[in-house]
């Protein structure tokens, strides 16, 4: 039976389809907490989960959040009908995984289908992720999961002949903007390099946050394809192109749980590469103290899994295992990293960034052109040193509605700054990625593009007592003060067991 209710819209993003009913009326109608309801309005339908309110919602009313209002095209005062909806069949598959049993491909697909249709609650999805974390997935389950994630969004298909190349790092390294060099270097050689980038989740900046200082990054898939067809490469935000859309929803659940099960990591990355239209994929696995992967053996096992899954998906995958224990550059934060990228493309920036980018290009060229790594490295360095990569990068910036005449002087951090001096002299033993990110996020990054941090010395270098060690930048005195406070609590620089003194 359809029941008609008056809508109250809450301009709040809930993260799942949810409606609020008056508690006494819901009980009269036998709508229990977390029951599913089918909502109908203006010829549209949506499934939502029931929650209760004592007073906020009157009888005859229904509170809906932003997701539901958007899906149905409704506003406060509109009428909608509610109808009981059966429990999703995929919940049996979630229970089966929690019991340690292997899922059939159809069961994996049902979970992703219900995820996309907003028929599963956050708690139910968390249970699925926990099940994968504790019980694992076999090869067939992982392939089925990857295929289902690919099918959940759009896919790029390029009509022109020639290899399509993509590169991806599993992350965890502060100031690693290798993709911003890799894409223009490879595109300057005539390859197509469609690159979707992420925004920061727990770090101080993602590649999309840094690229945003040069150009737009939020484009639909059709525009992304046009950019690649036009200039050979792109650096766009993955959250806007609706590729492997189910993965973005799973990440929203995984992140607060601090769970990154291997099958979900594998399917997350390779589903996006397949959706980008890539044929050749190079993966970077940063390894070491403070990185996502702690030791070399673990990295090698993960590399084998990526290569094997890629083969099942029709992708040629190679893996580079790199040192991820330290930040790649001595600057952290969107605007400082953007400036360092531009300087490096101009031939006067970070030697570490240039070296890593050329090495990754060398590996890719050995995959695609069958040249030796040394020859591939030489060709990449030639494109960088000769200004070809800079020219291509600025073409990409222009194609993404940015300013191709941008200068390094346009990329300036916040005006409020403070320098921390070394309390004692000594050799820098370690610079912690996570603590660097904590400090820069306290300064306002990544939302505030002009927050940042500069290191005056890196691992292995010597600092004298009283000499500058770290400089913080912020757009307000309040943010700067919070950054200093966070630096005291989470010292990112170890100097022979001597901590920073904030002066």
For the annotated catalytic residues, the residue numbers are 260
Nearest one of 163, 185, 168 to 357, comparing CA atoms: 185
| Pair type for strands 61-64 and 36-41 | unpaired
Measure the CA–CA gap between 424 and 181, rounded to whole angstroms.
37
Measure the CA–CA gap between 178 and 241, rounded to whole angstroms.
22
Burial, 327: exposed, middle or buried (Cβ in 10 Å; 0-12, 13-18, 19+)?
buried
Measure the CA–CA gap between 487 and 421, rounded to whole angstroms.
12
- Torsion, CA 192, CA 193, CA 196, CA 200, rounded to 10: -160
Q: What's the CA angle centered on 492, arms 237 and 210, to 5 degrees? A: 20
Q: What are phi and psi of 148, to 5 degrees?
A: -65, -40
For residue 187, what are its two tokens? 């595109």
Location of structure tokens 């940063």:
286
Measure the CA–CA gap between 265 and 249, rounded to whole angstroms.
13
Q: What are phi and psi of 494, to 5 degrees?
A: -100, 120
Could you tell me how many residues make up the chain? 503
DSSP strands (E only) in 146-279 = 165-169, 193-197, 233-237
Whether cis (ω within 30° of 0) applies to the bond prior to 446 is yes
Measure the CA–CA gap between 92 and 188, rounded to whole angstroms.
51
For residue 476, what are its two tokens? 């307000």
């Amino acid at each position: 039976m359809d029941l008609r209710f008056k809508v109250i819209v809450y301009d709040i993003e809930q993260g799942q389809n949810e409606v609020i009913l008056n508690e006494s009326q819901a009980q009269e109608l036998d709508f229990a907490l977390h029951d599913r309801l089918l909502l109908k309005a203006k010829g549209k339908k949506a499934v939502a989960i029931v929650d209760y309110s004592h007073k906020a919602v009157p009888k005859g009313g229904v509170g809906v959040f932003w997701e539901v209002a958007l899906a149905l095209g409704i506003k406060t005062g509109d009428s909608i009908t509610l109808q009981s909806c059966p429990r999703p069949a995929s919940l049996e598959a979630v229970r089966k995984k929690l019991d340690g049993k292997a899922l059939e491909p159809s069961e994996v697909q049902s979970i992703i289908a219900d995820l996309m249709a907003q028929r599963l609650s956050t708690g139910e999805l968390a249970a699925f992720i926990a099940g994968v974390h504790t019980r694992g997935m076999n090869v067939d389950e992982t392939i089925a999961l990857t295929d289902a994630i690919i099918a959940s969004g759009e896919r790029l298909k390029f009509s022109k002949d020639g290899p399509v190349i993509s590169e991806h790092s599993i992350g965890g390294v502060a100031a690693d903007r290798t993709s911003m060099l890799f894409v223009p270097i490879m595109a300057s050689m005539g390859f197509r390099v469609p690159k979707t980038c992420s925004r920061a989740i727990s770090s101080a900046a993602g590649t999309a946050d840094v690229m945003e200082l040069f150009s737009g990054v939020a484009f639909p898939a059709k525009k992304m394809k046009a950019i690649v067809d036009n200039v050979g490469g792109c650096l766009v935000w993955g959250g806007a192109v609706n590729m492997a859309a189910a993965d973005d929803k799973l990440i929203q659940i995984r992140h607060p749980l601090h769970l990154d099960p291997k099958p979900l990591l594998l399917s997350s990355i390779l589903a996006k590469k397949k959706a980008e239209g890539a044929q050749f994929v190079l993966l970077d696995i940063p390894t070491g103290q403070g990185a996502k992967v702690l030791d070399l053996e673990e990295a090698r096992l993960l590399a084998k899994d990526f290569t094997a899954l890629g083969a099942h998906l029709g992708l040629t995958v190679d893996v580079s295992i790199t040192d991820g224990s330290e930040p790649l550059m001595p600057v952290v934060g969107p605007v400082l990293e953007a400036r360092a990228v531009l300087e490096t493309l101009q031939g006067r920036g970070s030697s570490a960034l240039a070296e890593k980018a050329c090495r990754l290009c060398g590996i890719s060229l050995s995959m695609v052109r069958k040249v030796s790594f040394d020859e591939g490295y030489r060709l990449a360095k030639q494109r960088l040193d000769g200004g070809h990569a800079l020219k291509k990068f600025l073409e990409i910036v222009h194609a993404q509605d940015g300013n191709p005449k941008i200068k390094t002087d346009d990329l300036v951090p916040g005006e409020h700054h403070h320098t921390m001096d070394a309390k004692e002299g000594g050799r820098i033993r370690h610079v912690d990625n996570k603590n660097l990110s904590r400090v820069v996020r306290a300064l306002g990054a990544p939302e505030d593009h002009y927050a940042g941090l500069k290191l005056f010395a890196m691992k292995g270098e010597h600092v004298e007592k009283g000499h500058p060690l770290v400089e913080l930048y912020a757009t307000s005195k309040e943010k700067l003060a919070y950054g200093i406070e966070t630096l005291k609590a989470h010292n990112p620089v170890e100097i022979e067991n001597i901590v920073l003194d904030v002066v």
